[in-house]
């Protein structure tokens, strides 16, 4: 699981009773609130899916245009399925794979029965659109992402040029633990570019999980759509 840097282990003390739920145990998938220093400061909380499950589920893409297929394969694997990027591409398009997906193609891609070319197992996917417009600085969108990740649900996200799996989000919170603004996000990127963004502050870090990287604030604001995908594998 992702860890706060040891230098920033100041717990929410007197105020923590309010920030961290009045002493109640943290919810599954939640990252306890911490006090951070420097730009932005204040209290920062988070939510994430189980990193060990995402480590085994992680898939790479041969090209950046294949990221949407690898991202779906990753989510299927997270739920125990065994569908590859090539299985998804060949099922939907055969040998003529488009660079981008039309709305009709996205619907077919999200709601489909995929068959593994290795063992002929099948995975039924059903996608629900959480957002189909840029989320920007929307607090409602942020709260929705937090709820999904706290519930251990990785999310399929499309930016203007990429598809990834959102696995964690950090956010500024008031003394009652209510989200006030975005702080940082973490994705598993099927086609990670070199020179990944640094952490937003020394108080949080990554542990070197496959394909994991931070989104910059600009990257986060560039998220164009978000989908929750249910999977049933046979």
All structural domains of the chain with their residue ranges: 1-234
pLDDT in tens, 206-228: 888 999 999 888 889 999 999 99
Token pair in block for residue 229: 């995908």
Query: Mapping DSSP to helix (H, G, I), strand (E, B) and coil, where does residue 40 land?
Result: coil
Q: How far is residue 114 from each of residues 23, 91, 104, 121, 124, measured CA to CA in Å?
A: 45, 7, 17, 8, 6
Is residue 107 over pLDDT 90? Answer: yes
Q: How far is residue 165 from each of residues 6, 7, 51, 173, 233, measured CA to CA in Å?
A: 27, 29, 12, 24, 19
pLDDT in tens, 28-58: 567 888 877 666 667 889 999 988 899 999 9
| pTM of the model as a whole | 0.85
What secondary structure letter does DSSP report for 111?
S
């Amino acid at each position: 699981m992702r860890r706060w840097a040891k230098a920033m282990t100041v717990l929410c003390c007197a105020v923590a009773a309010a920030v961290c739920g009045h002493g109640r145990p943290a919810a599954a998938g939640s990252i306890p609130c911490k006090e951070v220093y420097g730009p932005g400061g204040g209290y920062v909380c988070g939510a994430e899916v189980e990193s060990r499950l995402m480590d085994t589920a992680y898939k790479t893409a041969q090209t950046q245009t294949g990221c949407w297929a690898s991202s779906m394969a990753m989510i299927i694997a997270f739920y125990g399925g065994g569908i590859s990027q090539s299985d998804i591409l060949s099922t939907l398009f055969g040998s003529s794979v488009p660079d981008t997906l039309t709305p009709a193609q996205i619907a077919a891609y999200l709601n489909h029965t995929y068959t593994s070319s290795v063992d002929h197992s099948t995975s039924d996917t059903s996608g629900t659109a959480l957002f189909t417009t840029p989320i920007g600085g929307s607090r409602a969108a942020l709260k929705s992402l937090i709820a999904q990740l706290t519930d251990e649900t990785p999310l399929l996200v499309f930016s203007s040029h990429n598809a990834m799996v959102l696995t964690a989000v950090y956010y500024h919170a008031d003394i009652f633990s209510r989200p006030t603004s975005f702080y940082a996000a973490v994705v598993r990127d099927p086609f990670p570019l070199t020179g990944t963004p640094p952490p937003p502050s020394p108080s949080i870090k990554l542990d070197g999980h496959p394909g994991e990287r931070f989104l910059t604030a600009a990257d986060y604001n560039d998220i164009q759509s978000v989908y929750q995908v249910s999977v049933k594998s046979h």
